[in-house]
Structure 1
Amino acid sequence: MAEGKRVEDYPLISLITVNYNQAEVTCDMLESTRQLTYPNFEIIVVDNGSIEDPTDRILDRNFPHVRVIVSPTNLGFSGGNNLGLEYAKGDYIFLLNNDTIVTANLLEKLLEPFRQDATIGVVCPKIRYYDQPEVIQFAGYHPLSEYTGRTWAIGLNEPDKGQYNKPGPTYFAHGAAMMVSRAVLERAGSLDNSFFLYYEELDWSARIRRSGFLIYYQPDALIFHRESMSVGKMNPMKVYYHTRNRLWFMRRNVTGLSLLVFYIYYFSIAIPKALLVHTIRWQPAYLKAIKDAVVWNLTHQPERSLEKPAPVAVAA
């Protein structure tokens, strides 16, 4: 803390994390927050309908600044975070996966870009793998292909040799760690609950950019991520939501010829390829997941928000 400044002189940061049947993993992340040097933050743990209520286990560890909110049902990634937002008091909201480990100056570094540019609405840290701490998972995102509905992280699986240490705007935020200004929530709204799991941060990012904000990559901020601990590397639920939400995202965010080309690609190449692979391997649960994902889209209509970005006033 700077000399002469009080805690309340610093913007309040609300750190929100979602727990689902992973109390010890969540406690590992909370343990790492003890080293945070930023003086003014709160932590909101949302339990997403776990079999065992983790409240006592978390509170018995005497983590500072922590409040536990228990949902009786699993609201998904988007719904769980949105529940946490209802209790967040911060000027900035930091959505953080429970399967991450933070570094000491993380919050200070994430705040820096907001102070430099009023058009910045979201800041994401560099992400490296927990089990391979020198290997990058995320250093920004490439643009999305409007014809395939695909994007990929910059630096993915590359050794970190400083090649992505330049900060700057990026196309999408990473769902594992993203700090959002209160102004974003007021103008662009929160995550869309219809996604439940996967693609929700891409949809939110697209909506945030249409609202006139930049999404920013800050390499001076760093976290470590234990990827896919909550749903596993591959299972029918993951196949279902990836299939369903890729199509749902495109229907919500792309129009015209681009969407037509995507439909042709998706239903003549991507879906048949997946069906063939799971048939050869004889994975009937995966085949059903793909069928259910397509049927869900046939029975749901998106509410698009494709207006041009609103102007953003830049402070002098």
Structure 2
Amino acid sequence: MVSISVIIVNYNARYFLSNCIESLFESVIKDQIEIIVVDNKSTDGSCDMLREQFPTVSCIANKENIGFSKANNIGVGIAKGKYILILNPDTLLRSNTLSEFYSFAEKHEDFGAAGAQFIDGSGKYLPESKRNFPTLKVAGTKLLGYSKLYYSNHIERDQIAEIDILTGAFMFIRKSVYDKVGGFDEEFFMYGEDIDLSYRILKAGYRNFYLGNNRVLHFKGESTVKDQFYLKNFYGALGIFYKKHFPEKKWLYTPIDLLIKGIITVNSIGLPKKTEQAAEIKSFVLIGEAQECYAALENKLKPVKSKIIKTPDLYAEGYDYVFFDSKSLGYSEIIENIGKPEFFGVKKRLLSKDRSFYLGSDYSDRRGEVVEF
């Protein structure tokens, strides 16, 4: 029986997608989940990788990039689970994440949806884990660069609480609720659709929750290049939201549109010319038991110093990079350790299960680093 259908919309995130699926396969209720990947015409071999490495995963290969909302609706359309999990390909889950979300939802009859606590590839907490409803004041100050009102700072990071807005990178939703409110609004190509869906779930009489006791690693930005197209979708989503839900406030439309256009223009000036990360690794620690992989890393990177240790608690300062061996440790242990104080200031990289590549992300506004070896 399928309890949870995991829907992943993918766009050129092959290596991160591979690790994401591996983390789902570590779930303690893996026999109760199905994984559906909707690919938006990737050109990086994502679909071939899925067919070769994960034959049990359903893959819908779109002939064009139809956007996040429409792709998710297609995936949910064939889902068999009582619950669905909208999940980004650049995420990693602990082995008990799905079981804990399922158990929590089953205890609440008016459960609509729930989100988790996000940490990024450096182990840093991401404040967008919990957000307030974007009133004009909240959204306006956010657009102007003031985020205090935008985030639900009254809720502690590790707390379990009701919340207004969930994040589309991880949305655990009762499928009957998703169907009742009509799923994602396909007018939102990318961004803003999670705000809209969260709001409609609340309007339908259900509750949204933040389960801060469960951490999800979100590398961020893997399916998005920060360009003009991104800016127009990211900031333009607010205009779509207000025109949809507040038709009586037409006098606000023009000021909002002008503000958004101005912000897009200003932000366009500072767009990074390159999104790739070039890294020279002078010293590293490999945490795991992969001696052959350690030798291969040394041969490829030729560091000034390096060492291999079996567990994270043996780590000592004085190294630029920490490599976590996902095969030796498992994703749960990596997620638990990557944000610990002893690893602050050290760049982190994750070895794939087959140890053929490593990946990581040091900046939330750039594409991550993937290196084959």
**TM-score, normalised by the number of residues in structure 1:** 0.75
The Cα shift of 1:13 comes to: 0.4
Q: Which residue of structure 2 aligns with residue 44 of structure 1?
A: 36
2:235–2:264 contact (8 Å) kept in structure 1: no
Gaps of 5+ in 1: 1-7, 156-161, 284-316
Alignment of 1:7-22 (within 5 A): 8=1, 12-22=3-13
Q: 2:140 matched to 1:142?
A: no
Spell out, residue by residue over 1:217-244, the C-alpha distance to the aligned partner (whole angstroms, 9 max, x if none).
1112221001111113x21111111232
Alignment of 1:28-177 (within 5 A): 28-38=19-29, 39-51=31-43, 54-62=46-54, 65-129=56-120, 131-147=121-137, 149=139, 152-154=150-152, 163-177=156-170
Instruction: Pick the structure with greater CA Rg.
Output: 2
Q: Matched residues in 2 for 1:186 and 1:173: separation? A: 17
The Cα shift of 1:265 comes to: 4.3
Where 2:197 maps in the other structure, the secondary structure is helix
1:146–1:254 contact (8 Å) kept in structure 2: no
- State the Cα RMSD in Å: 2.4
Q: 2:250 matched to 1:252?
A: no
Q: Matched residues in 2 for 1:268 and 1:49: separation? A: 33
Instruction: Tell me the matched-pair count.
Output: 261
Gaps of 5+ in 2: 143-149, 272-373
Q: Matched residues in 1 for 2:161 and 2:241: separation? A: 25
The Cα shift of 1:268 comes to: 5.5
Amino acid at match of 1:100: T
Q: Matched residues in 2 for 1:226 and 1:128: separation? A: 8
Q: 2:240 matched to 1:242?
A: no
The Cα shift of 1:136 comes to: 3.1
Q: Matched residues in 2 for 1:195 and 1:134: separation? A: 29
Q: Which residue of structure 2 aligns with residue 220 of structure 1?
A: 213
Q: Which residue of structure 1 aligns with residue 201 of structure 2?
A: 208
1:94–1:179 contact (8 Å) kept in structure 2: yes
Amino acid at match of 1:201: D
Amino acid at match of 1:112: S
Residues 273 and 198 (structure 1), Cα distance of their counterparts in 2 relative to 1, 3 Å cut = closer
Residues 104 and 282 (structure 1), Cα distance of their counterparts in 2 relative to 1, 3 Å cut = closer
Amino acid at match of 2:12: N
The Cα shift of 1:35 comes to: 1.5
The Cα shift of 1:196 comes to: 0.9
Q: Which residue of structure 1 aligns with residue 261 of structure 2?
A: 271
Where 1:60 maps in the other structure, the secondary structure is helix
Spell out, residue by residue over 1:49-68, the C-alpha distance to the aligned partner (whole angstroms, 9 max, x if none).
122553331232247x4111
Spell out, residue by residue over 1:235-254, the C-alpha distance to the aligned partner (whole angstroms, 9 max, x if none).
11111112322111110112
The Cα shift of 1:137 comes to: 3.9
The Cα shift of 1:135 comes to: 2.3
Residues 192 and 33 (structure 1), Cα distance of their counterparts in 2 relative to 1, 3 Å cut = same
Spell out, residue by residue over 1:136-180, the C-alpha distance to the aligned partner (whole angstroms, 9 max, x if none).
34442123123564563346xxxxxx9422211111111000111
2:232–2:264 contact (8 Å) kept in structure 1: no
Q: Matched residues in 2 for 1:192 and 1:144: separation? A: 17
Residues 228 and 154 (structure 1), Cα distance of their counterparts in 2 relative to 1, 3 Å cut = farther
Q: Which residue of structure 1 aligns with residue 361 of structure 2?
A: none
**TM-score, normalised by the number of residues in structure 2:** 0.64
Residues 183 and 235 (structure 1), Cα distance of their counterparts in 2 relative to 1, 3 Å cut = same
Where 2:237 maps in the other structure, the secondary structure is helix
2:129–2:166 contact (8 Å) kept in structure 1: no
2:167–2:194 contact (8 Å) kept in structure 1: yes
The Cα shift of 1:272 comes to: 3.6
The percentage of aligned residue pairs carrying the same residue is 23
Q: Which residue of structure 2 aligns with residue 193 of structure 1?
A: 186
Q: Which residue of structure 1 aligns with residue 309 of structure 2?
A: none
